[in-house]
Amino acid sequence: LALNIFGTLAVSALFLQSDSIHLSSASVPQCQEKHFWVKFTRDVMVSIISSVIVMAPTTILVMLHRRPIAYDEDPRKQEWQLRKRQILDILILAIAGIWLSGCIVLSVSFLANVRPSDADHWLVSALAMFIKAWIMVPLAMALAWEFFTVVLARKPGLTRRIAEMLKNLKDATSGREGSELDFQTW
């Protein structure tokens, strides 16, 4: 969560930094945008684009973290697997820490070196990101779950079919104790 939040703030700062380079404090007033809604729309779009860009490094870290546990009877192989897993965990934490620190430094440096109006645009972009992440996405997920529950309630045959699929999946994986469910068996 912290990687997404601070990453989005840092990428927003990069977008707004490149936008503020074109206008200096000595620029003529005609060069600056006057319309509130144009500025607001741009700030919201910067927030959305920044969120999409930040998904890439976050997804890579999640993929590195999601690795299967192979069970082996040999104690030396078990120890080696645990040691390897521990080394990968430390590597993931180091990468995430470097990414987080870089994002924080970039955001703070941006705020320290821009005009107050650019800092205001960054704040609007940050608020748009928080509204999207904490209000819009949970609301969309809740509405989607509501839709699926209504569909399932109206189609009892579909509910039985899903229950059979889950039972078959449980039966297929019950021989492997402690293993993660493999949803590709569907």
Q: Are 9 and 126 in contact (CB under 8 A)?
A: yes
Give whole-number Cα distances, 16 to 22, 23, 94, 123, 129, in Å.
11, 11, 28, 11, 14
- State residue 52's pLDDT score: 85
Q: What is the pLDDT of residues 138-152, one digit of tens each?
A: 999 999 999 988 888
Q: Is 3 left (phi over 0), alpha (psi -120 to 50) or beta?
A: alpha
pLDDT over 90 (residue 98): yes
- State residue 13's pLDDT score: 82
Over range 97-112, report the average pLDDT: 88
| Residue (of 34, 30, 61, 45) closest to 128 by Cα position | 45
At 15, list the tokens: 């977008």
Over range 25-36, report the average pLDDT: 60
Highest mean pLDDT among 32-36, 43-47, 57-61 belongs to 57-61
Confidence of residue 186 (pLDDT cuts 50, 70, 90): very low
What 8-state DSSP symbol labels residue 18? H
* Residue where the block lists tokens 């509130």: 36
What 8-state DSSP symbol labels residue 68? P
Q: What's the mean pLDDT when you consider all of the chain?
A: 80
Confidence of residue 182 (pLDDT cuts 50, 70, 90): very low
- State residue 178's pLDDT score: 45
- Can you state the percent helix, strand and coil of the chain, rounding each to 5? 80, 0, 20
At 89, list the tokens: 């965990």
Over range 174-185, report the average pLDDT: 49
pLDDT over 70 (residue 8): yes
Q: Where is pLDDT greater, at 38 or 94? A: 94
- State residue 94's pLDDT score: 93
Residue 64 sits at the vertex; the CA angle it makes with 63 and 67, to the nearest 5 degrees, is 85
CB-facing half-sphere around the CA of 120: CA atoms within 13 A: 6
Q: Identify the weakest region by mean pLDDT among 22-26, 50-54, 169-173, 176-180.
A: 176-180
Whole-angstrom distance, CA of residue 132 vs CA of residue 100: 21
- State residue 185's pLDDT score: 43
Q: Are 175 and 184 in contact (CB under 8 A)?
A: no
Gyration radius (Cα) of the chain, Å: 24
What's the predicted TM-score (pTM) here?
A: 0.60
At 2, list the tokens: 């912290």
